[in-house]
Amino acid sequence: MAAEDLPSQFDVVILGTGLTESVIAAACSRVGQSVLHLDRRNYYAGNWASFTFNGLLSWIEQYKNQQEVQITELEQVWRSLIDEGEDAVPLSALDSSISNLEVFCYASEEEEKEEEMKTPLSSFQPVNAETVSEEANGDSTEAHDTVTGDDTTASDAKTPNEEHEVSEPKEDQHTSDISEPSQSQEEKESQLSSSPADPPVEVQKKITYQKLVKEGRRFNIDLVSKLMYSRGALVDLLIKSNVSRYAEFKNIGRILTYRNGKVEQVPCSRADVFASKQLTVVEKRMLMKFLTFCLDFEQHPEEYQDYTEKPFREFLKNKKLTENLQHFILHSIAMVTQHTLTEEGLKATQHFLRCLGRYGNTPFLFPLYGLGEIPQCFCRMCAVFGGIYCLRHSVECLVVDKVSNKVKAVIDTRGQRISCSHFVVEDSYIRDEQRQSTAYRQISRAVLITDRSVLPSESDQQISMVTIPPLESSAPAVRMVELCSSSMTCMPGTYLVHLTCSSSGKAQEDLAPVISQLFHVSTIPGEEPSEGAEERSKPAVLWVMYFNMRDTSALDSSSYSLPSNVHVCTGPDDSLCSDYSIKLAESVFHHILPDEEFCPPAPNPEDIIYDGDGPQAEGPGFDESTNTEADKSLAEEEGNSEPAEMDSVTQQAPLDMTPASEE
C-alpha cells in the first residue's frame, strides 16, 4: 500500500486506544466529529489489551527491549514545523507504565529442565524467550515494524473501512497460518537437538510449554483483569450505544472465596442460598434477610444510623450475623476492606445485589475473547462513523498557541502537522515535565495458566470470581478471576487465572504468597505434585507472569500542566469494574462537546443511507444472516433497552455496518 498522508485537519485527535480513549473516540465520531485515533503500539487497547500467548511473549520482549533501547529523539524533524507564536510540547516516546515484569515457567519442557531449575528467579529464561520471539515474529504480521521506523509506516495509513483495521483476536484465529506453529516447533526442536538427548518420552496428558506455545492462539490474555457489573456503567453504555452488538459475553458462573485454607462457594443469589450446603437454614434466613434489607437500606435508616461513622464490619457484627456470613458479605459481596464505613459497605452490597439476576445468578459478565475486546468494539463504532485509525503511529509533540494557550495542532511521528480543536491523550504519553504530581499508585498483577480449577465442580466451563481476604493484616485483599476455555481466553484443558491487588510492593512479592496458598507451584518444571493429598488437590501452575501496572486513576486535570483543550485519560484503575474509566470518558466528552449526547444509540443498519446509492447497499444479506426470524424481531422490537436480548443483538454481523469503501 502506498504511503498516504493523513488529512491535515481533524476535530479531535486521540492518542492511545485504551478503554477511556476508545469510548471518547466512539462518542465524538458518533455525533459527527472527525476523529483521528492513534496508538504508538502495534496493537489496540494499550494497557487494556488482550494477547494470544505468543503475542504476550512478544509483548514481554518489547517491554524488555524498551528498557534497553535508548530512544533517540528526532526533535529536528518537527522543530521546523513550529511557527512563530507557537510552542511545542513534546510527548514521551517511552511507556513506563509497566514495571517489575517477571515470568516463570513450570510446564515441563524436557530439554530445558536444567536451566530453569538453576534460574527460576530470573525474569526471562533466555533460551525460552528467544525462541518465542522468533515464533511471534513469524506469526503476527504487523508485530515487528519498529516503532520509530519512518520508511515502514506506509502501511499505517489505512482507511477505517478496511475490515482488518479493527483487528479482533477471534478473527485472527480463523486466518491462515495453521502450519505456522508446527513449523516453529520443528525449528525449535532442531535448534535444541544438540543438547544432551533426553529420550523424547511424551508425558501423556500433561501440558508442556511447547503445547502452550503451539496452542498459543487459543489464549486471550488480558493485561487488565476486570469484570462487568451487569448494571454497571460499562454495560449500560454498551447497551445504550448499541456497541454491544460487536461483542459476546459470558456470565460469571460463581463467586468463590478463600477461607480457612479452603476455597468455598459464596452463596449470593437466592438459588445459591437455597442450594448451599455450608449454611444452616437459620443462616440462610439471616443472610437473605440482611441482603433484602441492603436492597433498599436507605428506606430503613434506623437500622444503621448508629453505625454511619463506624466500619461496615462492626455493623455486620452487630447484626448478629454468624462469622461465616460476615466473611461472605464483607469480602465477597460488598468486597470492601475492614475499614470501610458502614454506608459505603451497604452501598456496595446494594450494587452487587441489584446486578444479580439481570443476566444470571451472579452480578458479573465477561466479554468472550477477553476484556481487550471492549476498547476495540468502541473503536469499531468510531470507525463506522468515519473515525480514522492508525497503529504504530504516535504524536511527537503538541503545537500550542502562545496567546490562547491552546493546542492547535499536533505533529505526528511521520512529521506531519495535523490541526485539531481537541487533543485526547492517554497518561503514559505525558512527559514528567508536564506533570504537577507523580503520586501514582501501582497495581500488582499476576497471570497464571493452570491445569484445573481451584474448585472443581460439575461443570468445568465456569468463570469464577474469587475473593481472597488479606492473608496478613498488612497485606492487600486479592481479587482473582479464573477463566475457563469456553470464555475463549485459554486452550481447552487449562484455566487462565488473573490476580489483581493494589500494590504494596513488587507484584511478585504481593501475589506469590497467595499463589502458593491456592496453587501447586512446583520447584522443578513439569514435576508432579508431591504425594500429599493436599498438594494434589490444588491446581498446578504451568506458567506465571507478574508485573506492576501504574494506576494513575487518582490524578485529575490539576495534576498536569497542559493546555485546556488537552484531555488526559488515566489508565486502568485497580477496581473490579470499569465504571471509573467510563465516567471519565463521559466527562471528557462533555468537556469537548458540552451540548451533545454521549453515545446515543447507533441506528439499525437498514436505517443508514449510503452515499449515492440508497437501498442497494443495505444488503438483504444482513437480514438473512441473523439466526432466526424470532431472534431478529426480538432484537429489533425490544431493542437494547431490554438487556436480556443482548446476546441476540450480538449475533448480528457487525461487519455489514461498515460503510462501503469510497474507492
Task: Give residues in contact with other proteins (CB under 8 A).
Answer: 7, 32, 159-161, 270-271, 273-275, 281-282, 284-286, 288-289, 361, 384-386, 388, 603, 607-611, 628-631, 659, 662
Torsion of CA 167, 171, 176, 178, to 10 degrees: 120
Q: Which of 141, 45, 132, 41 is nearest to 94 (CA)?
A: 41
Q: Which is nearer to other proteins, 94 or 288 (CB)?
A: 288
Task: Name the residue nearer to other proteins (CB basis): 178 or 281.
Answer: 281
What are the Cα distances from residue 33, in Å, to 353, 395, 590?
Answer: 39, 20, 13
3-class SS at 90?
strand
What are the φ and ψ backbone dihedral angles of 348, each rounded to 5 degrees?
A: -65, -40
Amino acid at 281: V
Chain-centre distance of CA 259, in angstroms?
28
Kindly state the helix (H) or strand (E) to which residue 397 belongs, with its residue range: strand 395-401
Q: Which is closer to other proteins, CB of 50 or CB of 276?
A: 276
- Cα separation of 592 and 588, whole Å? 6
Closest CB to other proteins among 68 and 611? 611
Nearer to other proteins, 136 or 383 (CB): 383
Q: How far is the CB of 13 from other proteins (least distance, A)?
A: 16
d(CA 333, CA 526): 37
Q: Which is nearer to other proteins, 276 or 340 (CB)?
A: 276
- Which of 22, 21, 43 has its CA nearest to residue 172? 43
Query: C-beta of 391: minimal distance to other proteins in Å?
Result: 18
CB of 58 to other proteins, least distance (A): 32
CB of 279 to other proteins, least distance (A): 9
Q: Supply the DSSP symbol for 528.
A: P
In the structure grid, which three cell numbers stand for residue 60, read together?
A: 514481554
Closest CA to 461 of 469, 452, 470: 452
Rounded Cα distance, 31 and 464, in Å: 38
How far is residue 75's CA from residue 459's CA, in Å, rounded to a whole number? 58
Instruction: State the nearest-atom distance from the C-beta of 585 to other proteins, in Å.
Output: 21
Please report how close the Cβ of residue 159 comes to other proteins at its closest, in angstroms: 7
534 SS3 class: helix
- When the beta carbons of 286 and 512 are compared against other proteins, the nearer one is 286
Minimal distance, residue 389 CB to other proteins, in Å? 12
Residue 469 CA to its chain's centroid (Å): 23
Nearer of residues 71 and 630 to other proteins, judged by Cβ: 630
In whole angstroms, give the CA distance from residue 639 to residue 555. Answer: 38
Contacts of 436 (CB under 8 A, 6+ apart): 558, 559, 560, 561
3-state SS class at 483: strand
> CB 49 → other proteins: shortest distance, Å?
26
The CB-of-660 to other proteins minimum distance in angstroms stands at 8
Q: Measured from the CB atom, is 285 or 431 closer to other proteins?
A: 285
Give CA angle at 174 (37, 241), nearest 5°: 40
| C-beta of 579 vs 618, nearer to other proteins | 618
CB of 161 to other proteins, least distance (A): 8
Q: Distance between CA atoms of 319 and 222, rounded to whole angstroms?
A: 40
Cell 509497566, located at residue: 98
Q: Which residues contact 454 (CB under 8 A, 6 or more apart)?
A: 256, 263, 464, 466, 480, 482, 497, 518, 519, 538, 539
Phi and psi at residue 236, to the nearest 5°: -60, -40
What's the sign of the alpha-carbon dihedral 518, 520, 523, 524? negative
Q: Are 463 and 252 in contact (CB under 8 A)?
A: yes
Containing 577, the helix (H) or strand (E) segment is none
Nearest to other proteins of 316, 388 (CB atom):
388
Q: Please, which residue, 146 or 661, has the CB nearer to other proteins?
A: 661
Q: How far is the CB of 35 from other proteins (least distance, A)?
A: 10
Instruction: Please say whether the beta carbons of 85 and 400 come within 8 A.
Output: no
**Least distance (Å) from other proteins to the CB of residue 7?**
8
- 197 or 282: CB nearest other proteins: 282
The distance of closest approach from Cβ of residue 356 to other proteins in the complex, given in angstroms and rounded to an integer, is 13
Complex with other proteins: residue 45 or 384, whichever CB lies closer: 384
- Smallest separation (angstroms) from other proteins to the CB of 273: 5
